[in-house]
A and B are shown apart, each in its own frame.
Chain A
């Protein structure tokens, strides 16, 4: 794992948040005037299990440096079992990405509930810090999507 020394570079983070918990959690962070890094771009999905593995791969291809999935805590899913599906699917996907040589620190799943505005901020702060240390994602990018 190399440490990034390029000071001008800012990571791009895609946070995929479920509508019922994590997105509301981010909303709560906003209404409480808590600040979280501007590198994080949130995508709202109905449920964390809506996320197709292709979403994660595509985000990386189009220039994301890290992808984080946020969902309801186990047992709290709005659709009862969605996050259990997410847990198994993403465990396998991230392990496969690691197997192909993509650092597993670039991918993460976290549970953030609608009441956890502070936790959302902490999670994002931590994730942005990890990715900043890792440096830009060069392995997954698609040359056709590259902007010079």
Chain B
């Protein structure tokens, strides 16, 4: 797949359709993949990678890249195309400056996910279809991609591309993902248990803001969390409400725009299940206002603002009097 992508990118660069390529390159280790912009064919041939670790959602980087001169080529996985559409809806990307190649995705893994399966000291990974051969300092191991894929890929909502100029590989279908199972489990707990669960999770937060920075829906140029006077600038203490407050506001701010790509949980260095907050909002407005998938089409109205005037038809907290 990698060779195919490089070949096509080289062609497009050489015929002048695009003048740079947004893709992935290797970091310090084979599983440390980092997004990168390639401006020359040599650079592309030498450094471009595409493998089972390329989980990064590149659509976020188009916010800045599409402002620049000339066309940029970008590779988007199915879940990234939802974010891409959502950004188009919000007029954050100049569509005419972007050439999108949709690429097939069969789930991604990460160094952390391999570690969870007891595979450590990774030197190199070879891919053969759905089978990974991991060379470690302790010897070779063969695993199936299905067994080590990230949680967000195990609950993948769709393998269908919703936006592309051309497609490499095959287009998939919208999947029945059971992605709200964990949310339902938490909902079943008592208020006390829920509070303790979340306080335990959030007490680990180090306020690195990685979840905010990586989120394709978080594209404000000025953010309340960067404002020193907001009182939310940095971590308070592990047992105050401050961390909950940060995470509620972060999730709330992307409610109705979150495409559930799961980048927030992927980048969290403390493994806080942040997707559970976003999915709670998605589950709520799906249940109350009808199914809505952010980014499925360009120009959709978010359920947070797409209200109805009808008093009886609107299920809301007001009619219930706010009581449990």
**Interface 9-residue window, one of A19-27, A113-121, A140-148:** A140-148
Stretch in B71-79, B143-151, B160-168, B248-256 touching the partner: B248-256
Which residue of B195, B288, B324 is within 8 Å of A139 (Cβ)?
Answer: B195
**Smallest distance from the beta carbon of A44 to chain B beta carbons, Å?**
20
Query: How many Å lie between the Cα of A100 and that of B194 in the bound state?
Result: 6
Residue-wise interface mask of B (174-200) relative to A, using a CB-CB cutoff of 8 A (1 in contact, 0 not) = 000000000100110001111111110
Whole-angstrom distance between the alpha carbons of A61 and B285 in the complex? 26
- B280 in contact (CB, < 8 A): yes
B322 at the interface (CB under 8 A from A): yes
**Chain A CB within 8 A of B128 CB:** no
Given contacts A90-B317, A109-B322, contact A144 B240 (CB under 8 A): yes
Give Cα A93 to B308, complex, Å.
Answer: 18
| Contact between A101 and B193, CB atoms less than 8 A apart | yes
Cβ contact within 8 Å between A84 and B195? no
Q: Report how far A95 CA is from B322 CA in the complex, Å.
A: 9
A53 within 8 A of B: yes
> Would you call B324 and A74 a contact (CB within 8 A)?
no
Q: Is the interface of B mostly helix, strand, loop or mixed?
A: helix
Give the contacts of A65-124 with B (CB-CB under 8 A). 74-75, 81, 84-85, 87-105, 107-111
Task: Looking at the assembled complex, report how far the CB atom of A130 sits from the nearest CB atom of chain B, in whole angstroms.
Answer: 7
Instruction: Report the nearest B residue to A103, measured CB to CB.
Output: B191
Partner of A57, one of B193, B197, B249, B308: B249
Asked if B322 and A94 make an inter-chain contact with CB atoms under 8 angstroms apart, the answer reads: yes
Which of B192, B224, B244, B322 has the most chain A CB within a 10 Å cutoff? B322
Given contacts A99-B186, A99-B280, A142-B242, contact A91 B249 (CB under 8 A): no
Cβ of A102 and Cβ of B311 under 8 Å apart? Answer: no
B323 within 8 A of A: yes
B123 at the interface (CB under 8 A from A): no
Tell me the B236-294 residues at the A interface (CB within 8 Å).
Answer: 236-237, 239-242, 244-245, 248-249, 251-252, 255, 277, 280-281, 284-285, 288-289
Confirm or deny: A54 has a beta carbon within 8 angstroms of a beta carbon on chain B: yes
> How many pairs, one residue from A and one from B, have CB atoms within 8 Å of each other in the complex?
133
A residues in contact with B197, CB < 8 Å: 101
Check: B137 CB closer than 8 A to any chain A CB: no
A53 to B237, CA, bound (A): 22
Q: B223 within 8 Å of A by Cβ?
A: no
- Cβ-based interface call for B321 (8 A): yes
Q: A53-B252, A57-B248, A102-B191 are in contact. Are A84 and B241 (CB under 8 A)?
A: no
Q: How far is the CA of A95 from the CA of B255 in the complex (A)?
A: 13
- A47–chain B nearest beta-carbon distance, Å: 14
Q: How far, in whole Å, are A82 and B307 apart by their CA atoms in the complex?
A: 10
Contact B252 A105 (CB under 8 A): no
Interchain CB contact under 8 A, A75 and B241: no
Question: With A74-B311, A92-B304 known to touch, is A57 a contact of B240 (CB < 8 Å)?
Answer: no
A105 to B321, CA, bound (A): 8
Q: Is the CB of B192 within 8 A of A60?
A: no
Q: Can you report 24 residue pairs joining A to B where beta carbons are below 8 Å apart?
A: A53-B252, A54-B249, A87-B314, A87-B316, A88-B307, A89-B304, A91-B316, A92-B252, A94-B317, A96-B251, A98-B324, A101-B193, A101-B196, A101-B197, A101-B199, A105-B323, A105-B324, A108-B321, A109-B318, A111-B318, A130-B323, A139-B241, A142-B240, A143-B237
- Known A93-B252, A97-B248; 14 more pairs at CB < 8 Å: A57-B248, A75-B309, A87-B318, A88-B307, A92-B304, A95-B280, A95-B317, A96-B284, A108-B317, A108-B322, A109-B316, A111-B318, A141-B241, A143-B236
Instruction: Give me the interface of A with B, judged by CB distance under 8 Å.
Output: 1, 53-54, 57, 60-61, 74-75, 81, 84-85, 87-105, 107-111, 130, 139-144
Closest 3 interchain pairs by CB? A101-B195, A108-B322, A101-B194
Please list the residues of chain B having a beta carbon within 8 angstroms of any beta carbon in chain A. 183, 186-187, 191-199, 224, 236-237, 239-242, 244-245, 248-249, 251-252, 255, 277, 280-281, 284-285, 288-289, 303-305, 307-309, 311, 314-318, 321-324
